Amino acid sequence: MKKKLVSVLLTTAMAASMLTACGSNGGSAEPAADTAESTETTAEEAATEEATEEATEETAEETTEETAEETSEDTAAAEDVDYGTGEIKIWVADNVVDFTKEQFDKFIEENPQFAGYTATVEATGEGDAAGNMITDVEAGADIYGFAQDQIARLVSAGALEVVEDSNAEKIKADNDAGAVSAATVGDTLYAYPLTADNGYFLYYDKSVVTDPSTLEGISEQCEAAGKNFYFEVNSGWYQTAFFFGTGAELTYDTDNDGNFTKCNSTYASDEGVVALKEIIELANTKSFQNGSSISSATDVAAIVDGTWDAEAAKELFGDNYACAKLPTFTGSDGKEYQLSGFGGYKLLGVKPQEDENKLAVCDALADYLASEEVQLARFNAVGWGPSNLKAQGADEVKADEALTALGEQLKFAIPQGQYPGDYWSLATSLGDSVISGEIPADASDDDVKKALEDFQTTCESYAK
Amino acid sequence: MIKTGYKTKKAIGNVFAYIFLILICIIWLFPFVGLVLQSFRSYATEYGGMVSYIVPKQFSLDNYKFMFSGETNFLLWYKNTVTIAFFVSLLQTMVILCVSYALSRMRFAGRTLLMKSWLILGLFPGFLTMICLYFLLKQFGLTQAGAIPGLILVSVASSGMGYYVCKGYFDTIPKALDEAARIDGASRARIFFTMTIPMSKPIIIYTALVAFMAPWNDYIFASYVAFGHDKSYNVAVAMYRWMNTNDYQGYFTRFCAGGVLIAIPVTILFMFLQKYYVEGVTGGAVKG
Amino acid sequence: MAHGSKTKNKVTLATLLSALGNDLKMIGLTFKEGDIKTKLSFIIMGLGPILRGQILIGLVLMLAQALFFWYIKGFGWAYLSKITTLGTVATQKIKRKTVYGDNSFLILLFGVLSIFAVIAIITLWRLNVAENRKEELALKAGKKLPTNLETFTSLFDKNFDKTLLLLPVTGIFVFTVLPIVFMIFIAFTNYDSNHQPPANLFTWVGLENFKELVSFGNQGLGPTFFKVLAWTLVWAFFATFIDYFLGLAVAILINKKGIKFKKLWRTILVMTIAVPQFVSLLYVAKMFANDGLINGFLKSVGLIENSIPFWSNPMLARITIIVINIWIGIPYLMLIATGLLMNIPEDLYESARIDGASPWQMFKSITLPYMLFVTGPFLLTQFTGNLNNFGVIFLLSGGGPGTISYAGNAGTTDLLVTWLYKMTVNDSNYKMASVIGIMVFIVTAIFALGVYGLLPSVKDEEGFQ
């Protein structure tokens, strides 16, 4: 016991001395008298030095070697059509990994001049791709799929190569206009449109919701059945359904480098007030749940979600599966509005390359993966709605229920442009404030307007 | 008479104590019971997403079959985690023992400075340095494909700073033993290997156990170092996606099954070594 | 007390300066009085020892010098020379090909590494001088120098500490100290999403970022910073002390005479330590969601009509986090307390009982003071650990819910650490993250000091003797 106490005191004393005399001169004040010891320190520190230096030196050598190799390759490539060999790293969403592998093999079959290249396909979520690319562009994928809201961030981080001119013309002609504008930053086309199904609409349970045409009706029917109605109002993406629906605006202008130059917003207006008040009203209904992911939702009777969840929704609702465009709602001013929202796109990007040959292969591959046939094949494999106009016209695409509902909704939606990353977090804060009651259910028009004015000012501050 | 009154009072006290303990245990076990039950929910008939009930309507092994089916790299991730945990545990224990012995038993110039500065360094929010560590590891080729050795290296390299508990334990071993051995002509190294280490079983097991458990939780740094390279993921990185990425609809029950599989080895190990854990932590951490 | 430490600091500064002076004097003296071997060693490290037969020491020194020059010439200088500007060559496009220019990030990183190497070689050089002097003096005094074998075996005896510490110290320097120094430098640059290497350069901006943090204007992060800081402190306080006292209570309860199955109770509680947190906490977080199990159950039995907003109401979310943390924290404390309670001498209780003390009195005057005394340092580490408790917040609430009254995308349950995690990962705002990181460090250090002064084991060292 006593011994233990002594040791407690020792530690305390040690820590106390540490706290009172940080940065004291423990080592350097030692006089040179302690000679035997300092000799040994010399020997060992030298050894340490050795180890680190060796390691660093090695890497230095490697780097120089690499550069040397590259330069020689480059000069060779100028007059040769030999594309050499290499490895292309591709990042796509988990459910299309196998599909993309198959398509790569087909691509090589059709283009034997690229046979020296192999591909590794990794599952990286379209939301994560940008974050990972930006962490280390050089180690990132050569070709990667991403949701369009990331494009400005990727361009300003130098993670996207401009689409080659000849490809660009073809893409502009073949894809729907919204897709092209989604892939454009400033006036430059930076990515290959992959899908045009990044919008949302309503999935619902036929047995509970009999009339999906009005928001109020859906809420009531869900409530009556003790079921939940999911609408992710704390997401900058879903929230716009209300604001754009009443006619409020929020868009950004960008320059060619992905910088935001101007914010056009009319949220702090009567239209904005009607929209936010409707969100408040919805958030305070009993059946309301905030969310948009079918697999983490419980007791769902209706959910505002996108085509990527179509399979999950079919499984969940079984025979009662149904989908429709978003409902209308009666605003606080007594007028009736149709919910709007974003029509968004998934894009495929190519990373800037230090090797022109590899870039040529990547260009060709990205173009192939975004082509009409592959988009159609992808639709058949995993149900992603194509952005290619011809593929959109195909019979099987037209017959798809979810895509039809989305198509209906897209008539009211606004093609999604570029938004700064901060906007999404800010919108989440706005939504959270409504859900938490910080903006109360009985907020006056003035309070609501005040909140929107702050929101708009902050939005404007993101564009410099 | 008085005695029986005392006894009844005591008995009543015990009854309350039992009720309270049972209540606590129910609360403590509830999430685990939920996790296990959900992991047995049939994927085919009841869907893999979230539900609002806890007892599955139909029990099945669907989710476990999925884990072993090879549809995902689950077994590889599992192997990665075990590899990391094993080597980190082994090497980290060695490093901590060396550092603790030197700090506890030897007096050298700069000793207190070293201890002070390490304690202060430990207060710096560690993961701010992630991006820096990432590029350091990249120089050695220890990211993406080489992420496993990279993660081991980073965990082990800084582990010397965790000397605190182990040194506290060494401090409780009487110095007189060392002195006696030195008089008999034993070198420091000999004393360390033949006397101190054999006497430190609880603290060695404690250190190894703590080091073994940490990598199972490593999500942030592991996802940084291995990004975009599925084969280098550990279970935490791989399975975190199942809960938080939209690409993985209906993976909830699979997550539960994976969670159960992960929890099994660590729990068994912990249950068996619990005694040493208590001895180590009370003997070293708080110097009781 | 405060005054005392100040004087102490002054004293240490003075000794430091005089030590430095002595050092320089010694170096000068060595050169003046030294023979040719010593003088040559000033340029070629380790030459003197080699010539005097101390081959082991000499070779190591010489090798170190050679390696240093090799490193600086082949690798280090390229970065070190650009550290004042962090690079000037911008990335270019040659037709479709990208030619990367200077990489500011790597320049700073390896520049700092090179500075470390320079400091190391200077230290070694000083030791090299001292070694020469020592050898010369020993020879002059007619003593014999140790043989190479003796030097080597001393590594396992007298100098065993150096053998033991060599690798750990190196590891900490490269993988802890270097990154921390690097991140502190980042706070003085404009490294953010618009200045991302390798495509873009970043450069030094002085104290700009610190000004941004303390500015209270519309865009400033100041007010938010203090709100987040306040919650961080409140959280750390509750998380530490509630867990502590409840853990102690549970341990006492299980230790109580007449309670059977002691081991069973403990084992059940200890499950939370054994099961990896990312599994158990992610599950618990979903359990408490608006549409989760708990709300579902309460609704189905008719206790509530609307969901309890465990995660969407800021106040409730904070409370929920603290409560769930009890679930994690109690088992640890229970384990520790169990071991310690057994150490309290039974005779203390015995005599108290004879004096007619009630159980509560005994707890108050024996158990609690003893526990607080013994676990003081542990409590301190718990507290600083909780200030930086990333895992619990990240897995439970992710910092949410957000609010329009916070700037910089902070959420209402964000700790400073989770906030700066968001900054780096979501916004690539490394400059502000490292400014906040430095602040976190300062706050943690100050509170560690403050709490330390309150510890009974520091205040009353004689308490239990």
CA distance readout (Å), A422 to A264, A428, C325? 16, 10, 30
Amino acid A199: pLDDT = 87
Residues of A in contact with B100 (CB under 8 A): none
Q: Please name the residues between 245 and 264 in chain B that touch chain C, using a CB distance below 8 Å.
A: 255-256, 258-259, 262-263
Nearest CA in chain A to C66: A50
| B&C contacts, CB < 8 Å | 241
Say how far apart CA A173 and CA A177 lie, in whole Å: 9
Is C424 near chain B, with CB under 8 Å?
Answer: yes
Nearest CA in chain B to A297: B50
Q: Is the pLDDT of residue C11 over 50?
A: yes
Residue C143 DSSP symbol? P
Is C105 near chain B, with CB under 8 Å?
Answer: yes
Closest partner CB to B263 (pick from C180, C279, C440): C279
Mutation target vs B (from C79, C155, C157, C164; most B CBs, 10 A cutoff): C164
Beta-bridged to residue A386, according to DSSP, are: A195
Amino acid B51: pLDDT = 79
Element (H, E) at A336: strand A336-338
Closest partner CB to B245 (pick from A4, A125, A316): A125
Closest partner CB to A55 (pick from B48, B134, B140): B140
Q: Is the pLDDT of residue A350 over 90?
A: yes
Determine phi and psi for C301, rounding to 5 degrees. Answer: -90, 0
**Residue closest to A70 by CA, chosen among A86, A58, A89, A59:** A86
Q: Residue A385: exposed, middle, or buried by beta-carbon count in 10 A (0-12, 13-18, 19+)? A: buried
Amino acid C172: pLDDT = 93
**Residue keyed to tokens 């008995």:** B11
Average pLDDT, chain C: 85
Residue A371 is encoded by which pair of tokens? 């082509």
Amino acid A99: pLDDT = 93
Per the CB < 8 Å rule, is B248 touching A124? Answer: no
Determine phi and psi for A205, rounding to 5 degrees. Answer: -95, 110
Amino acid C9: pLDDT = 55
Tell me the per-residue pLDDT of C65-118, one tens digit each, with 9 for 90 and over.
999 999 999 899 999 999 999 988 888 888 788 888 899 999 999 999 999 999
Of residues B82 and C382, which shows the higher confidence score?
A: B82
Residue B47 is encoded by which pair of tokens? 């869907």
pLDDT band at A80 (very low <50, low <70, confident <90, very high): low
Cis bond leading into C198, ω under 30°?
yes
A75-97: string of b/e by CB count within 10 Å (b at 16+)? eebeeeeebeebebbbbbbbbbb
Amino acid B74: pLDDT = 92
- The mean pLDDT value for C210-218 works out to 71
Maximum alpha-carbon separation in chain C: 97
Q: Do residues A321 and A110 touch, judged by C-beta distance below 8 A?
A: no
- The mean pLDDT value for A423-445 works out to 88
pLDDT band at C464 (very low <50, low <70, confident <90, very high): very low
Amino acid C291: pLDDT = 84
Residue A84 is encoded by which pair of tokens? 């050499």
Residues of C in contact with A291 (CB under 8 A): 291
pTM recorded for the entire structure: 0.84
- DSSP, residue by residue, C353-415: HHTT--HHHHIIIIIHHHHHHHHHHHHHHHHHHHHT-HHHHHHHTTTPPB-TT-STT-BTT--
User: Chains with ≥3 Cβ pairs under 8 A against A?
Assistant: B, C
Per the CB < 8 Å rule, is C5 touching A20? Answer: yes
Of residues B266 and C462, which shows the higher confidence score?
A: B266
Q: Which of A27-31, A223-227, C360-364 has maximum average pLDDT?
A: A223-227
Say how far apart CA A443 and CA B222 lie, in whole Å: 45
Radius of gyration of the CA atoms of chain C, in A: 30
Closest partner CB to B28 (pick from C153, C172, C268): C268
Determine phi and psi for A16, rounding to 5 degrees. Answer: -65, -45
- DSSP, residue by residue, B104-164: HH---TTHHHHHHHHHHHTTS-GGGGHHHHHHHHHHTT-SGGGHHHHHHHHHHHTGGGG-H
A105-127: string of b/e by CB count within 10 Å (b at 16+)? eebbeeeeebeebebbbbbbbbb
Residues of A in contact with B52 (CB under 8 A): 298-299
Q: Do residues C273 and C353 touch, judged by C-beta distance below 8 A?
A: no
Amino acid C10: pLDDT = 60
Maximum alpha-carbon separation in chain B: 81
Q: Is the pLDDT of residue B150 over 70?
A: yes
Q: Is the pLDDT of residue A268 over 80?
A: yes
Q: Is the pLDDT of residue C453 over 70?
A: no
Closest partner CB to A24 (pick from B113, B247, B250): B113
pLDDT band at C231 (very low <50, low <70, confident <90, very high): very high
Amino acid C252: pLDDT = 87
- The mean pLDDT value for C299-312 works out to 84
Q: What percent of chain B lies above the pLDDT cut of 90?
A: 29
Cis bond leading into B125, ω under 30°?
no
Q: How far is A269 from chain B (nearest CA, A)?
A: 34
CA distance readout (Å), C246 to B156, B218, C328? 34, 28, 12
SS3 at position C159 = coil
What residues have CB less than 8 Å from A241, skipping those under 6 apart?
A200, A304, A326, A339, A340, A341
Residue A144 is encoded by which pair of tokens? 């990667």
Q: Is the pLDDT of residue C2 over 80?
A: no
- The mean pLDDT value for B241-258 works out to 84
Q: Is the pLDDT of residue A17 over 80?
A: no
- The mean pLDDT value for A344-352 works out to 91
Q: Is the pLDDT of residue C397 over 70?
A: yes
Say how far apart CA A65 and CA A42 lie, in whole Å: 34
Tell me the per-residue pLDDT of A20-69, one tens digit each, with 9 for 90 and over.
333 333 333 333 333 333 334 344 444 444 444 444 444 444 444 444 44
Is C92 near chain A, with CB under 8 Å?
Answer: no
What residues have CB less than 8 Å from B26, skipping those under 6 apart?
none
**Residue keyed to tokens 């820096």:** B132
Residue C45 identity (one-letter amino acid): M
Q: Do residues C104 and C86 touch, judged by C-beta distance below 8 A?
A: yes
Closest partner CB to B129 (pick from C179, C277, C327): C179
Say how far apart CA A279 and CA A282 lie, in whole Å: 5
Q: Is the pLDDT of residue C214 over 80?
A: no
Q: For chain A, how many residues are written?
A: 464
Residue A285 is encoded by which pair of tokens? 């209904």
Average pLDDT, chain A: 81
A144-173: string of b/e by CB count within 10 Å (b at 16+)? bbbbbbbbbbbbbbbbbbbbbeebbeebbe
Residue A175 DSSP symbol? B
- The mean pLDDT value for C248-268 works out to 85
Say how far apart CA B141 and CA C106 lie, in whole Å: 15
pLDDT band at B4 (very low <50, low <70, confident <90, very high): low
Q: For chain C, how many residues are written?
A: 465
Q: Do residues A177 and A321 touch, judged by C-beta distance below 8 A?
A: no
Amino acid A243: pLDDT = 94
Amino acid C348: pLDDT = 83
Say how far apart CA C263 and CA B41 lie, in whole Å: 32
SS3 at position A323 = strand
Q: How far is C274 from chain A (nearest CA, A)?
A: 26
User: Chains with ≥3 Cβ pairs under 8 A against C?
Assistant: A, B
Average pLDDT, chain B: 86
Amino acid A348: pLDDT = 93
Amino acid A266: pLDDT = 92
